[in-house]
Amino acid sequence: MNLISIPALSDNYIWFLCNDDNRCLIVDPGEAKPVLEALTARQLSPVAILLTHNHQDHVEGIPELLKHFLLPVYGPEETHSKGATWIVSEGDSLTLLNHSFTVIALPGHTPGHIGFYSKPWLFCGDTVFSSGCGRFCRSMSKSMYHSVQKINQFPSETLICPAHEYTISNLDFSSTLLPNDSVIRGYQRAMKALRFKNKPSVPTTLYMERLINPFLRCHDIKLQDKLNHYPSAGEEWRIFLEMRLLKDSFK
């Protein structure tokens, strides 16, 4: 299987997962034009569309794509009005391109957000980014924290496939939280060199994210020292929320 990232809009990625027969899945098509161009250029035939949540920058391209291809569209209940024809939820299993995909509930960024996992690929939408996480309202703080922790339980070789190119800004923020972390600093330099060449910084591995993503490190005493916040057991989501609020105002 071949994973391809298709840049779209200002900073989105639409993902293709393709087999040796040039058939592919399309994940979160926020725009139709780059999808159609990539399908033609690579001579690919789509077999299904997967949706992680209902935001326009993830679903906008569906109507145009369905004018060209008769495809099933799998997504959570919140995407029904956006074009999903098959509603899926936690624990459902899909067999596509001879691979099994498990649906994972990842509420937080939106109430009904889901992910699709087929080892080693995890299409997580706007839940986890490289060195960061998606936005969420305060009422969803615990849900988002637990969704990120759910992802953190996957195998270390899991390929995290987020829907945005936010890595540099996330690393800039992470390095202010943990300025003496040599792994974060080294990865920051490497990713800036990569992006200078206009190459994508994702997918990333869960192994690497455990090292560079502060939102996966809420138990880290160095991080708690930096924030001067020492939550009791079971309250680590408060660290998570505090970091996200700081990230929201980070320039």
Q: Is the pTM of this model over 0.85?
A: yes
User: Which CATH number is 2-167+200-209 given?
Assistant: 3.60.15.10
pLDDT band at 246 (very low <50, low <70, confident <90, very high): very high
Phi and psi based region of residue 92 (left: phi greater than 0; alpha: psi -120 to 50; beta: remaining): beta
DSSP per-residue letters across 78-98: GGGGGT-SEE--TT-EEEETT
pLDDT band at 28 (very low <50, low <70, confident <90, very high): very high
Query: If you compute the radius of gyration of the chain from its CA atoms, what whole number of angstroms results?
Result: 18
Domain boundaries, the chain: 2-167+200-209
Look up residue 83 and give its amino acid. Answer: G
pLDDT in tens, 115-133: 999 999 999 999 999 999 9
Closest by alpha carbon to 184, among 203, 160, 211, 156?
211
Whats the size of the chain, residue-wise? 251
220, exposed or middle or buried, with CB in 10 Å at 0-12, 13-18, 19+?
middle
Can you tell me the distance from the alpha carbon of 139 to that of 245, in angstroms, rounded to the nearest whole number?
A: 13
pLDDT in tens, 34-85: 999 999 999 999 999 999 999 999 999 999 999 999 999 999 999 999 999 9
pLDDT of residue 131: 98
Closest by alpha carbon to 133, among 218, 17, 193, 65?
218
SS3 58: helix
What are the start-end ranges of the H helices in 43-166?
56-59, 62-68, 141-152
